[in-house]
Structure 1
Amino acid sequence: MNWLTNFVRPKIRALVAKPETPDNLWHKCPNCEAMIFHRDLEANLNVCQHCGHHMRVAPDKRLPMLFDEGEYKTIELPKVTVDPLKFRDSKRYTDRLREAQSKSGRNDAVVVAHGEMGGMNVVVAAFDFGFMGGSMGMAVGDALLAAARLAVLQQAPLIVIPASGGARMQEGILSLMQMPRTTIAVDMVKEAGLPYIVVLTDPTTGGVTASFAMLGDIHVAEKGALIGFAGAKVIEGTIRETLPEGFQRAEYLMDHGMVDIVVHRKDLRGTLIRVLDLLRRPMPAAEVVDLHEDEEPSKEPVASKEPVTSKARGNGESADLRAAD
């Protein structure tokens, strides 16, 4: 046993070595490139405090922002056939799925939760862009159908929060078939007379935009969210024109009638509660007082219902007002 190697050297290294700093203490804003301390970023709901850029949020952080007291329950989603087409590019599809599942801790790109929001029961289906770009495959279609069935069973509004690049290419035509399946899920909710609200986040593109994401009764979008079908470069190359500034962003879409409300993330929960309250509780804001027949009518003078005529003479005007008898 070498005493210098086994005992002296480790002690010297422990004294002079720099302490290891976790690599997740600081985050760089993708918009203004400012460095933000992780606690400040979490306190500001993952919104850059310098430029207001809304960064992407995983469902496990987004859902507590919406539900009362941050409490909710998730449901177990149906299991689907894995890699039905035996797809392979640079990697096997099964390997990509396995990596995404181990990284995110969930089976696929959607989490379905239910709980109370402003004292009202709601069902929320939230996408995780970190899971293969939030792409829509068979598992996502089954998840939205399960969310719709749960909303109908609980007689609760359905809120969907997409963050997706579109259909999942590794599932081919099976992924495209999820567009009509998710449309059927939306119809189930609407036929039950329940509100269907879509919260558009960055990004919402491709087949997701072309199906359930644009079928909401109310469309709410986070500030600066990218919303569209094809990419801006593809559109410019097709029409051979320069697109206007801010094209496919939430504010541009609201100005052109495709989005109803654009909100800051800190105001999202309050906005959803007000919208749900208007849709689910269409009652007067104050108590209605009945006027009984035995009460005497008001003795205040009543304004005349006869028209008021005016005549212009010379440089001035004179009005002939006729009072009621």
Structure 2
Amino acid sequence: MLKDLFFKLNNKVNDKKEPGVFESNESIITKCPNCKKILYSKELYKRLNVCSNCDHHLMITSTERMDALLDEDSGTALFEGITSLNPLEFPNYESKLEKDREKTGLNEAVIVHEGTIDGSPAVIAIMDPRFRMGSMGSAVGEKLARAFNHATEKRMPVVVFTASGGARMQEGIISLMQMAKVSVAVEKHNNAGLLYIAYMTNPTTGGVSASFASVGDINLAEKGALIGFAGRRVIEETIKEKLPDDFQTAEFLLKHGQLDEVVDRRNMRDYLSRILMMHSEVK
């Protein structure tokens, strides 16, 4: 069937061959959603899902990104057993969580690893928009808070890749509380004199953008990422003005001093490696 030629975003990939290179045996071609060019999926994987024609950054899973970042055999997964419950007894919430677990192979919308990037140790947390749109519930907040506490105890830097629709409405105020809880853990890590790199990817919105995603010692973003709190339509209706076309993009935030750099995904490993090396503690 023709549909089998096209890439499915929730594919699983084969074992890593080298940092940043993946192969898929489930598809042949992918259509870029931005320029509509047909791309060979194998070549797209080698480019970390960055279009060779327009440089559009297609979605990449949290596990793919982690594999692209960490030195081979250096990663240790942390806090994998933490999962969300249904404290508010929200209708069908458990079944939706279970469907996302089956679809993604993840327990929650963030994964945490301790490992090295070009020999530099770090705790790395990566959010995944495939799981409840990367929304932040109690389990996501707990995993992130523990990641910072773990890094503080071991005197390690933290890198957090954000990709989120915001707070998880099915958990109500419990979800909103995670903004403060994670921010407290970030502050303890900061008071210990340790480095935190916030790396925003598409999309980073809502309570995540308003809390830990925006308070890194170094704030980075991926090219073209949507970053903001409220949506464009809400803001335009509130201020009664038309917003610029590039409003809430990574490039717009960089131009207005809210980011330190916009980084092409293919350069993220080298870029982070240099930063971690420059800030490494003398043993």
Identify whether the pair has TM-score above 0.5, normalized to the shorter chain. yes
- Residue type at the aligned position of 1:58: T
Residue 69 of structure 1 aligns with which residue? 72
Map of 2:214 onto structure 1? 214
SS of residue in 2 equivalent to 1:85:
coil
Aligned counterpart, 1:49: 52
Specify whether residues 20 and 221 from structure 1 end up closer, same or farther in structure 2 by C-alpha distance, changes over 3 A only. closer
2:19 matched residue in structure 1? none
Partner of 2:39: 36
Counterpart of 2:260 in structure 1 is 260
Distance 1:185 1:69 in 2: 29
- C-alpha change, 1:83 and 1:100, in structure 2 (3 Å) is same
Which residue identity is paired with 1:74? Answer: A
TM-score, reference length from structure 2 = 0.88
The code of the aligned residue for 1:54 comes to H
Spell out structure 1 runs of 4+ moving beyond 6 A. Answer: none
Alignment partner, residue 143 of structure 1: 143
CA distance in 2, matches of 1:79, 1:52: 36
Once residues 257 and 3 of structure 2 are traced to their aligned partners in structure 1, the CA distance between those partners, rounded to angstroms, is: 51
Q: CA deviation at 1:231?
A: 1.0
Distance, in Å, in 2 between the alignment partners of 1:77 and 1:194 is 24
Per the TM alignment, residue 20 of structure 1 is displaced from its structure 2 partner at its CA by 9.7
How far apart are 1:68 and its partner, in Å? 2.0
Rg larger for: 1
Task: State the 1:81 CA deviation.
Answer: 5.6
* Cα distance in structure 1, aligned partners of 2:148 and 2:81: 13
| Cα separation, 2, equivalents of 1:19 and 1:238 | 46
- Are 1:87 and 2:93 matched, yes or no? no
Once residues 32 and 71 of structure 1 are traced to their aligned partners in structure 2, the CA distance between those partners, rounded to angstroms, is: 37
Per chain length, whose mean CA-contact separation is higher, i.e. which structure has more relative contact order (CA < 8 Å, sep 6+)?
2
Instruction: Spell out, residue by residue over 1:82-118, the C-alpha distance to the aligned partner (whole angstroms, 9 max, x if none).
Output: 1110112xxx001100100111111110100011112
2:127 maps to a residue whose letter is F
TM-score by length of 1: 0.77
The one-character-per-residue Cα deviations of 1:274-311 (angstroms, maximum 9, x if unpaired) are: 122222269xxxxxxxxxxxxxxxxxxxxxxxxxxxxx
Aligned residue in 1 for 2:114: 114
SS at match of 2:204: coil
* Residue type at the aligned position of 2:143: A
1:230-287 CA deviation, whole Å, 9 max, x = no partner?
11111111111111121111111011010001111111111111122222269xxxxx
Provide the C-alpha distance between the structure 1 equivalents of 2:33 and 2:3, rounded to a whole number of angstroms.
Answer: 25
Using the TM superposition, give the Cα deviation of residue 176 of structure 1 relative to its aligned residue in structure 2, in angstroms.
0.5
Preserved CA contact (<8 Å) 1:77 1:142: no
| Counterpart mapping for 1:148-297 below 5 A | 148-280=148-280
Distance, in Å, in 2 between the alignment partners of 1:93 and 1:137 is 12
Cα 1:202–1:70, aligned 2, differ >3 Å: closer, same or farther? farther
CA distance change for structure 1 residues 255 and 70 in 2, over 3 Å: closer, same or farther? farther
Which runs of 5 or more structure 1 residues have no equivalent in the other structure? 1-17, 283-325
SS at match of 1:208: helix
Structure 2 gap segments, 5+ residues each: 8-26
Question: Any conservation in 2 of the 1:198–1:218 contact (CA below 8 Å)?
Answer: yes
How much does 1:187 deviate? 1.0
Seen in structure 2, the aligned counterparts of structure 1 residues 281 and 71 have a Cα distance that, compared at 3 Å, is: closer
The count of corresponding residues between Structure 1 and Structure 2 is 262
Deviation of 1:128 after TM superposition, in Å, equals 0.6
Q: Which residue of the partner structure matches residue 285 of structure 1?
A: none
CA distance in structure 2 between the aligned counterparts of 1:268 and 1:136, rounded to whole angstroms: 24
Following the alignment from structure 2 to structure 1, what is the Cα–Cα distance between the partners of residues 128 and 95? 19
Separation in structure 2 between the aligned mates of residue 70 and residue 30 of structure 1, nearest angstrom: 34
